[in-house]
Structure 1
Amino acid sequence: MKKTLVGVSILGSLLSYAQEADTLKADKIDEVVITGYLTKDSPSANKMPLKDIENPQVYNTVNKNVIKEQVVTNFNDAIKNITGIARLWESTGRGNDGGEYYSMRGFSLQPNLVNGMPAFNNGTLDPAGIEVLEAIKGPSGTLYGGSVISYGGLLNVITKKPYNHFGGEVGYITGSYGLNRVTADVNTPVGKSMFARINAAYQKQNSFQDAGFSESIYVNPSIKYIVNDKLTFFVNTEIKKSDAANAPMIFLSRYSPLSFSSIDIFEQNYKNSFTSNDLSIKNSTFNIQAQAQYRISDNWTSSTILSRGNTKTDGYNHYLWDSANGDEFTRYISKLGGETNTTAIQQNFVGTFNIGSVKNKLLFGLDYFQREFLIGGTGWADFGTVSLVNQSDTAAGTLTKPAVDNALAATSQQIGSMKTQIYSAYVSDVVNILPNLSAMLSLRVDHFTGNPTAYAVEKSKATTTLSPKLGLVYQPIKDKISIFANYMNGFQNVEPVENTDLNGTKYFAYFDPEHANQWEVGTKASLVKDKLSITASYYNLLVKDKVMPDPTNPLSSIQGGEVESKGFEISVVGSPIEGLNVIAGFSQNISEVTVGDPTYVGYRPEEAGPRNIFNFWANYKIQNGALKNVGVGFGANSASNLYTLNRAGIGTFTIPSYAVFNTALSYNEERYSIILKLDNIGNKKYFSGWSTVTPQRLRTLSLSLNYKF
């Protein structure tokens, strides 16, 4: 009886705190409104509150509802819902850049932003903490700088935030290849004005190949403290530890004419991992963000954010290098060590004011970013030969820690450190020229010192860069249809190169930053009482000042290379009828090296990914009758041919096009749900690559059980 009374007392206190908190009028931090698949008016794309339909930039979102409904257990499966994006490399786990690589609008990128702040990861991201995944399209250097963006865009993870009452959810997923995944999401008031939330996940799964596994634990605690109706603090922390045995990447030779003519020999080795579970690599990640949001007045707010990050690598990494004889690959192996530490400080002021009758929405921001990469580990050793024709491995019986450590003992150890520091200021003004016509004027000044990349052997000269952005939005039907155009700029600092002049003297050559300039036109529509969103656009993106070989001296490099990328995208997301959720997209990208090294001029860049990409998912939940709450989902992902190796003198190796189909059957009540998901229904063999050939996951069956409280 006493236990019951205590439980009632605790529950009553929690409810009391929640009711009192609901009366507070403090601003909500990073608020995003989610309805079904729709994520309305996320402010991250321009760092200010702006409706999507009045935003001159394109972005796609994948929210927690999509992730849950599709039984997503890894970051790549969430990404498949974004228009025009494809994975190039799976995670290698190596230091500084061991995370997954994707291609968007013709350029490679990694997911290096959490809540708009730099957050590096050498492994893979866990979907348990994701509220919304944003893909912000185009070279967004004006607001985000050049250290965390790609010319094609950027990926930003918005994490789940505390809310003002007690609640939560627990889940369990089991499935093919020994999948076991446990998740928990618990939110609770811890005082009259403080709220805490913790998301956690544990996952273990084997590979679809003959060896390989991944095991990870993820914890994401966060706190919101409402000091008063003007000031709110928010602290978000992410901790992840993982251990994985990854199949070695199979590299085609970049220096010898191709000796392969088709994918057949790789399909015959589809389930051969050429590794062992003894050779694993450990990755740990720690990120913390502290934010103070202050309402200065009815028209002005201040946001101050401090973030710190640390990611470590410790373990074995190996790859297979093409011997250029149409059969054999040599294994190169290393025991990697490394650590990346980041510090970022950001101050934003956002306000509205009038100049006469013209309304302005102004953003002014300051940025500081520092990254230090500590290199460790052994050198590389040859360790056996793999034959694809005979499906054999000369080192198959010795892929053990003692044997590999013995081979690595004779290699030289890699030790060193690289540091980058960037100071920036930016301003952006949205001017409402007419009630249905607005213009965005933005500019960034960026001062860079240090090493532009983690592996640069020489510091660059201090560089100051300007990055402009312009946008126009016209709404023929207010808040329903808009026509937009933008000009956007992105930039990246280039590492020095050791040149040799015609007299044989060596010297370091320093370069200006590369610049990408994009113009884009398109339209956005909010239909069916704002339940369906459609975006269509055409873009043209030109990258200049790329470093290339000097045509008058093959031992030197100069600037002057150019890459053009252009294409069309259309995205559809929403709930056009009750019970039906849809997310779909199609993209076509045409990329070409237009000026530069004759090896590449006229060729599609290898980082550009497939030319055509299509994604679709629809789920219908029956609303009435005996089958009420039963849901049926169906989806597809397809891509055209991918030129994983594509250059003069070497040749072109084509990864074939593919189409993969998925389905789900679910039962959803208010408190619980059961979802049975089948991915890759046809057990399709398909590949990804970036001068590599990597088999993708075969048919997978998953069962998801969830309970809300």
Structure 2
Amino acid sequence: MTRLLTIVLLFTVYLNCFSQENSTIQGHITDADQKPLSGVNVLIAQLNTGTQSNEQGDFSIENLSAGNYTLTISYLGFKTQSKQVSVQNDGVLTLGNIVLYEGNEILNEVVINGERQNKFSRKKTAYVAKLPLKDIENTQVYSTVTNELLESQVVTNFEDALNNAVGIEKLWTSTGRGGDGAGYYSLRGFSVQPQLVNGLPGLTNGTINSANIERIEVIKGPSATLFGNAVSSYGGLINVVTKKPYAGTGGELSYTAGSYGFNQVTGDFNTALDKEENLYFRLNTSYASQQSFQDAGFRKSFFVAPSLSYKVNNKLSFSFYGEITQAEQTNPMFLFLNRSAPTEASNLDELGYNNKLSFTSNDLTLENPSQNYRLEMDYKLSDTWQSQTLLSKSSTSTKGYYSYLFDFGILGDDTFTRYISKQNANTETSDIQQNFIGDFKVANLRNRVVIGADYFTATQTSNNTGYAFYGNITPEGGSNGDNPFTPEVEEDAYPLSSSGVDAALESQAIGNNKSKYHIYSLYASDVLDITNNFSAMVGLRLDHFDNEGDISSAEDDYNQTTLSPKFGLLYQPIKDRLSVFTNYQNGFTNVAPQLVGNPEDGPQTLQTFDPEQANQFEVGLKTNLFNNRLDATISYYNIQVTDRVITDPSSPFNKIQGGEVESKGFEIEINANPVNGLNIRAGFSNNESTTTKSDNPEILNRRPLEAGPETLYNFWANYEVQQGSLEGFGLGLGFNGASERFAINYESTGEFILPSYTIANASVFYQANKYRITLKLNNAFNKEYYKGWTTISPQTPRAVLANVSYKF
């Protein structure tokens, strides 16, 4: 009898437990046009678990206990919704149709436990068009580097992250020098710097920290219509999207160690700060230190990024993002080639460069503190209009010793002369934007509109010393103290110490320079759905540039006003699966006035010029096939830069606007998820750039140095075993490379060509529910390779990284 009672009791408990965990929530999600949305995140906040909607927009969460829950429904580019639901025992709660309305990326990055298709592709963003627009309906081309891709590659720096973007190549690393910014890259034949954070200006004099990157958007082609010319180039611009608060509590701790003394600790924590869960806080932080593969050199940095999102009500929300960096480094030493006279060597073999030598010391360092702050207010004016108010402020500084090596071609034996200065510089920027974003129909035609006003100002202060001669070196490792600009032969010693440099700089004047400029802009853009499959994008910017220059003098003051148009057409033969597009995009550069006129005929006069113009025409296609398992972009572009100020061929004392540059090429990007667990990223680009018209024979009919290599390619494949005894184990394999490039390419200097390269990388990892362990091998075959822009800069040899991450 006792045994029978025990069996009955256990069976009753089992039935009770089973019934309590056998409830289901299901529903259907669409956009405002009643089109199903796939991949929408549906999270149960109390359980920190959830699912995603399928291709038909349906979702189902099973095996739930009875109780009251809060559902958070979010999708990139759409406004997040929260729903209170009550689940009964052993029942199915059907929510019916849930409509998500397009809006901004606020509280919508929700962590979901589960497999997301095509992890290396995330092609919906509210930044590229300043509208929540899917890539397949956007006439502009852009590449997105996702945090899943960065995680699979154990990326620890911004430069390696950009290797995954099609058609972009590093020209040189950030030197830390005041005004230089965060390095230079070549994009569609033109140099560009990463100066945009979450769609707003964000500057730095050092390397961008990778710990707070949610994704990187490389936006292709002249983009002045929506972004102006202060943060973009004719080749495009780079927008860094940071990690933002999300609904729920969680975080991650990570430690990475590797070759050349690399150590990095990162932390990520997210939580609600109120009981109603309307105020969320997220903190990302990182400390990293690394030495060089050369005989001297190091970098160490501390980074903290607090962020807040506050949902006041269904109409009003606020967001705040901050990034604070303290960094110290030795500045990278490039070999600067002479731009006006031929070097004795024309290639690396002749130069005899010992790239293990740094030609500096760890006693000569630069500090690069920087701060970026952004505040956003979003208010829903009606069902069709919303207001977006944005404010950003940036401050970046440089303090310490900066030196460079230049080949004057005077002493022979490929001798490079060192010049050094003590830096004390600062750049401050402020930006205020007001956008009105609408989604409405006129005569049954859908319009997605942004109308905005923008004010941007930048102030640069420099209290640097002048540059002092500080010895010579040869690429093989020789040194001497003979100043090339004195008649006598000196044999002085120049120790690479702070005391020695301070003594040499005592005679140098300290600058007291401060300059400022302002940009006032109005812009508008409309995506008009003419039919269900055919749309047009049209935009226009009115830009007024007011240059104060040196604030102590009015002689360099000038202002210019520019119109920047944009137009695009897009047709979808297969709705949301295949689109064919063409675009016209514009960029511009403000040109300072110059003195003209023959001095023998009297005083010269100041002549003003129209802004320089760049116009791009592009055609291509985009795909999103096989239930989001294959997306590809193929495009051909032609960029014509006109109105460059050149010397009048009929008079050396006059200037005319007639210089021209042509940059054309094609790009292919593929993101594929052919089977569960396998994600592939591949890209190929080819660019032809030529200075087609100029009074300067040094550059005429030659490839500009900023254009970088003609051909670039990248590939990365990552596979994780989905089931069985090896579930969670995975491998990553890939490569990236470039064709040869010109370090120097002038009529008088001839050519100095840096060779082509292909760099192979690999990883092995184990992924569990809460943690991940990865071993990464960079530059697997220890390839010696170089990059440069009138410079020669050796790149890192083979390196091993080990990472352990724990999520909670």
TM-score (norm: length of structure 2): 0.83
Aligned residues: 696
1:695 to 787, 790, 794: 794
Partner of 1:68: 151
Q: How does 1:412-427 map to 2 (within 5 A)?
A: 412-427=509-524
Moved more, 667-676 or 381-390: 381-390
Deviations 1:68-89 (A, max 9, x none): 1111111000000000000001
CA distance in 2, matches of 1:507, 1:317: 38
Counterpart contact for 2:336–2:791, Cα < 8 Å: yes
1:327 to 398, 414, 429: 414
CA distance in 1, matches of 2:550, 2:626: 47
Partner of 2:207: 124
Whether 2:622 is the aligned partner of 1:622: answer no
Deviations 1:306-359 (A, max 9, x none): 111111110111111113235100001111111111110001111122221211
Partner of 2:219: 136
Partner of 1:10: none
Whether 2:232 is the aligned partner of 1:149: answer yes
CA distance in 1, matches of 2:513, 2:286: 34
CA shift for structure 1 position 552: 3.7
Moved more, 410-419 or 493-502: 493-502
Distance 1:458 1:632, change over 3 A: farther
Counterpart contact for 1:458–1:495, Cα < 8 Å: no
CA distance in 2, matches of 1:637, 1:397: 40
Partner of 1:474: 571
CA distance in 1, matches of 2:531, 2:210: 42
Deviations 1:591-650 (A, max 9, x none): 000011222110000000000000111111111222221110111011001011111122
Deviations 1:457-492 (A, max 9, x none): 953522110000000000000100000000000111
Q: Which amino acid aligns with 2:628?
A: D
Deviations 1:495-549 (A, max 9, x none): 3445563427455443221110000000000012012210000000001111223
Q: How does 1:223-372 map to 2 (within 5 A)?
A: 223-266=308-351, 268-324=353-409, 325-372=412-459
Counterpart contact for 1:373–1:454, Cα < 8 Å: no
CA shift for structure 1 position 29: 3.0
Q: How does 1:56-205 map to 2 (within 5 A)?
A: 56-191=139-274, 192=276, 193-205=278-290
Whether 2:776 is the aligned partner of 1:677: answer yes
Partner of 2:562: 465
SS at 1:236's partner residue? strand
Counterpart contact for 1:259–1:326, Cα < 8 Å: yes
CA shift for structure 1 position 456: 12
Partner of 1:515: 613
CA distance in 1, matches of 2:140, 2:676: 29
CA distance in 1, matches of 2:470, 2:552: 24
Distance 1:551 1:234, change over 3 A: same
CA distance in 1, matches of 2:714, 2:552: 36
CA distance in 1, matches of 2:551, 2:580: 41
Q: Percent of pairs identical after alignment?
A: 46
Moved more, 455-464 or 76-85: 455-464
Partner of 2:590: 493
Counterpart contact for 2:631–2:671, Cα < 8 Å: yes
Distance 1:474 1:16, change over 3 A: closer
Q: How does 1:638-657 map to 2 (within 5 A)?
A: 638-657=737-756
Deviations 1:104-133 (A, max 9, x none): 000000000000001111111001111110
Q: Which amino acid aligns with 2:147?
A: K
Alignment root-mean-square deviation, CA: 2.2
Counterpart contact for 1:32–1:40, Cα < 8 Å: no
Q: Which amino acid aligns with 1:543?
A: V
Counterpart contact for 1:96–1:454, Cα < 8 Å: no
Q: Which amino acid aligns with 1:245?
A: T
Counterpart contact for 1:447–1:465, Cα < 8 Å: yes
Distance 1:113 1:638, change over 3 A: same
Q: Which amino acid aligns with 1:40?
A: K
Partner of 1:608: 707
Whether 2:475 is the aligned partner of 1:385: answer no
Distance 1:461 1:570, change over 3 A: same
Counterpart contact for 2:671–2:681, Cα < 8 Å: yes
CA distance in 1, matches of 2:71, 2:763: 39
List gaps (5 residues or longer) in structure 2.
1-44, 50-68, 74-79, 83-102, 111-115, 482-491
Distance 1:32 1:223, change over 3 A: closer
Q: Which amino acid aligns with 1:411?
A: Q
CA distance in 2, matches of 1:115, 1:616: 27
Moved more, 427-436 or 15-24: 15-24
Moved more, 699-708 or 573-582: 573-582
CA distance in 1, matches of 2:553, 2:217: 30
Flag the structure with more relative contact order, 1 or 2, with Cα contacts below 8 A and sequence separation at least 6.
Answer: 1
Counterpart contact for 2:558–2:592, Cα < 8 Å: no
Whether 2:108 is the aligned partner of 1:25: answer no
SS at 1:698's partner residue? coil
CA shift for structure 1 position 173: 0.3
CA shift for structure 1 position 553: 4.1
SS at 2:463's partner residue? strand
CA distance in 1, matches of 2:754, 2:725: 47
Counterpart contact for 1:269–1:391, Cα < 8 Å: no
Deviations 1:147-176 (A, max 9, x none): 110100000011111011110000000000
Distance 1:474 1:347, change over 3 A: same
Moved more, 572-581 or 169-178: 572-581
Q: Which amino acid aligns with 1:210?
A: D
Counterpart contact for 1:301–1:351, Cα < 8 Å: yes
Partner of 1:8: none
Whether 2:293 is the aligned partner of 1:208: answer yes
Counterpart contact for 2:343–2:407, Cα < 8 Å: no
Distance 1:454 1:242, change over 3 A: farther
Distance 1:453 1:239, change over 3 A: farther
Partner of 2:680: 582
CA distance in 1, matches of 2:648, 2:656: 5
Whether 2:558 is the aligned partner of 1:448: answer no
Distance 1:17 1:42, change over 3 A: closer
Counterpart contact for 2:670–2:683, Cα < 8 Å: yes
CA distance in 2, matches of 1:659, 1:242: 31
TM-score (norm: length of structure 1): 0.95
Counterpart contact for 2:539–2:565, Cα < 8 Å: yes
CA shift for structure 1 position 455: 14
Partner of 2:635: 537
CA distance in 2, matches of 1:180, 1:658: 28
CA distance in 2, matches of 1:686, 1:207: 16
CA shift for structure 1 position 267: 5.8
